[in-house]
Each structure stands twice: as C-alpha cells, then as structure tokens.
Structure 1
C-alpha cells in the first residue's frame, strides 16, 4: 500500500510541472473566464495592444493580440495589430501571413502598408510594390503606402520612381522623419551626397529615435555616419570622359623615322 501511494505521489509531482510549463501559454491564449464567454470584448484587447505598441513593448502587444484573436479570430484590427507586432519582432513571414488574413476580412490602406513593410523586410519588392499601389488606389492621402512604394522601387533599382514616390509622401506629411530618412538613402544611392546629408540631418532633427519599420532597417544616424564611405558622387551632367587621342609629338617622331629610313635607302 505504501509503495502504491509513493508511486502515485511521484507521478503527481511529475505531471504538475509539465502542466505548469504550459500554463503561461494557456493563460495568454484564453485569459480569464469560462470557455464559452470571452473575458473582455475585442475593443479592450485592441486598446491595450495599441498602448503596448505606443510603448514599443512588442512582446506585450503580441501577447495581448494573440489572446484577443483566440476569442475574436475574425477581428481584422486585432489581426493587423498582431501581424504588426510579429514584424517588429522580426517574424516577417508570420507577419505577412496574419496581415493577409486581416486584409481579406477588411481591405484598408493601413493593412496593405502593414503587409507591404513585411514584404520589404523579406526582400519581396514586387509584392511590396503591389500592396503599396493597391493602398494608394484606395486612399491617395494615406502616406505610409508611398513610403512602402519608394523602398520597393529602390530595391528594384528604380531610384527615379522611388524619389517621386517619397516626394509625394513628403508633400502630404513634411514633418515625417521616416520619409526624410528614406529620401536620404535614395539621394545617397543616386550620388547626391550633399543632398543626402541635408535630408538625413533633417530627419534626425525631426525625430532621431523614430520607430523604424522593422529590425535591421538601418537608422538615420548610421546612414549619416557612413555617408562619406557609402556615397559615390555622381559625375556632373554633360561631363564626358576624355577620349583616347594620338600624341602629336609621337606622330611627328614616327614620320621622322620613316623619312630617315627612306633617305638611307635612297643612298644605297
């Protein structure tokens, strides 16, 4: 009997930690309340997640939205916030997947921009450009999609179009540090080193610590610090490289040699 009780105690001790290990995940997924009744309505999850985003607490934002999506899987705003949080934590594929679900449920410019930045982080410039164009077609005054478009075109080597896109964003929102930052990178790539320096300094003056779109996106400070080594000045328009020409002195010397040989031959 004692052996049986001891065995049961050992089994109990082994089982409890295994359950406790997953308790955090279960709590985050379901929160409090019964399985039939959501503990909060969707708007509470959204507002709490937005507060976490404002504090750049991506882990908290992801946990809140994950819990909310468990109860409200068809809420596009929750899904969009969840995908945004995934992107900020470097999980780009997951971000695109989740925001795609939100976009199908409720296609809005903000969702296309959100997914577009995810595609940019993945290096899928064609998909990012398509999302940006769709977002702009829905609302030409929503500037974020112009930023996505500019970066997508830059990634495709189309700097002229990229500069036009970022200038459209700046025309609508001239105090946006991110757009000046993007323009600085474009001018640097185009060889306008002085212009790049000016706009990068402007970006830093507006907001030196603005929220970068994803991890690995080089900030304006680093771009400015590396400008002297990364920016190759473009040659002035109309400047032509000198074409190779024959040396006049060399030509005269050759003629003189030929003449001397001719005279020597005549004397023989």
Structure 2
C-alpha cells in the first residue's frame, strides 16, 4: 500500500514538472530576443539586406520580424524604420505604418519615405496629409514618380479630379509602363465619369502587370475595378441642368418677343 502511494506521488510530481520544463525553452527564446546587452550580433546592413529580400517576395510578416529585430539594436536606422512601416502598411496596420515612417523621415528625409508615408495617409483617408507628403517628396526630387502617384490619389480623394488627372499624367510621362499608374488613372477617370477612358486604363494596367503589389489591402485591383465599372462609374453626360435649360428657353422667348415687337414698330 505504501509503495503504491509512493508511485502515485512520484507520478503526480512528474506531471507537475512537465509544463514547467516545456515552458523553459520558450521563455529562454523570449529572453534572448529582448536581450540587447553587449555588442549587436549583426551589422545594420545585414538586417536591411534580409528585409529587402523578404520585400522582394512580398513576405510582409518576415519583413516586420526582421526589421523589429534590427531596430532593437539600431532604433534610429531610417531604412529599418521605413521598411517596418512599409510592412505594417501592407498588412493593414496603417497608423503603425505612419508612426514608424515618421521616425524614419525625422532621421533621414528622402522622397521615397514621403511616398511611403503618403500611402499610409491615403489608406487612413487623410488626404491632406498625403498631399503634403507628396508635395514634399516632389520638391525634393520631381523625378521620383511615386510621389506624383500619391499626389494624384490624394487629389482624387479630395474631389479634385482634374488636378488628379494632371498629376497621374505627369507620373505616366516618366513611367509609361507602370501598371500602378494606369490603375490610378483608371480610378480617376471613373471618378470623373469617363467610363470608357477608365476601362481602357484598367485594361492597360492589367496588360502590363495583373499581379502588381497593391499599395494597401482594400485598394482593389485593376481587374476588380474594371469588373465593377458598370455599377461604380456614372457617365458624365455634359447635358445642361434643368434649371439652365429653363433659363435658356426663357431667354430665347424674350429675344423672340423683342424681335417681333421691333418688326411691328417698323
């Protein structure tokens, strides 16, 4: 009896120890990940290179993981901050994206970073901030076309379609084979009621690259925009409004009456 009780007690102790033993390696990994004592294990350029490789295959979680590890050692590295923000945007975390890139811009402002943050503002529907970033990027380097694309989308979001069309045409003049810019042009034309023109632009985007990386989730592909064109695009008829038509007929009647009266006086 005593022996049986001893065996049961040993089994109970073993069961109690197993979870703790299983948790120990995980706790050790977490501790190591958060340990930034001593010299960095790698150069900042190594983290940047790995993150760029992950960007190339659109592995956004890996980009986020790599940049986060790098920033633990190099918290002011603008490249890591902006790639982290880029991955946040691609994963739909727009405010985090803007916050990370803002730190990168403070550390080292470049046109590409204004465009990167500008897309985050577009996703947040903060069109005035997106336009300001686009203008800052263009002022720094007008040849970096991405900021013209951001400007076009910001202006479209503000209802300034004529200016938006001019902005995207500037981008296309420099990068005529950009699937994204043709996609943006299609969106602007659709918003302005030029449904046939929008269809042509969407088709052009599809021909150039049907799988290009969209700026952020929910942007909608060119194919999706084209398929929905019949329901989302209201053709601009160019017909005068009923009020203007009534005024026009009234003016014509008055003119005719004046002519008749003048003829009768003669």
* TM-score, with length taken from structure 1: 0.82
3-state DSSP of counterpart to 2:58: coil
CA distance 1:21–1:243, shift in 2 (3 Å): farther
Aligned length: 241
Residue 186 of structure 1: aligned partner: 188
The normalised TM-score by structure 2 is: 0.82
1:224: Cα distance to partner? 0.6
| CA pair 64-186 structure 1, distance change in 2 beyond 3 A | same
What is the rounded CA distance, in whole Å, between the counterparts of 1:155 and 1:210 in structure 2? Answer: 22
**Partner Cα distance (1:43, 1:71) in 2:** 12
Task: Select which of 86, 104, 107 maps to 2:106.
Answer: 104
Displacement, 1:8?
A: 7.9
Find out whether 1:136 has 2:138 as its counterpart. yes
2:222, 2:26 → 1: CA distance? 42
For the structure 1 residues 26 and 83, does the alpha-carbon distance in structure 2 shift closer, same or farther, using more than 3 Å as the test?
farther
* Long gaps (5+) in structure 2: 1-5, 251-266
Matches within 5 A, 1:149-160: 149-160=151-162
Q: What secondary structure does 1:243 align onto?
A: helix
CA displacement at 1:35 relative to structure 2: 3.2
Aligned to 1:54: 56
The yes-or-no answer on 1:243 pairing with 2:246 is yes
How many angstroms does 1:243 deviate by? 2.9
Q: Once superposed, what is the RMSD of the aligned Cα atoms?
A: 2.6
| Structure 1 residue 156, shift from structure 2 partner | 0.8
CA contact (8 A) 1:29 1:66 kept: no
Q: Shift of the alpha carbon at 1:29?
A: 5.5
After TM superposition, the structure 1 = structure 2 runs for residues 51-200 of structure 1, keeping only pairs within 5 Å, are 51-200=53-202
**Runs of 4+ residues over 2 Å off in structure 1:** 2-30, 238-246
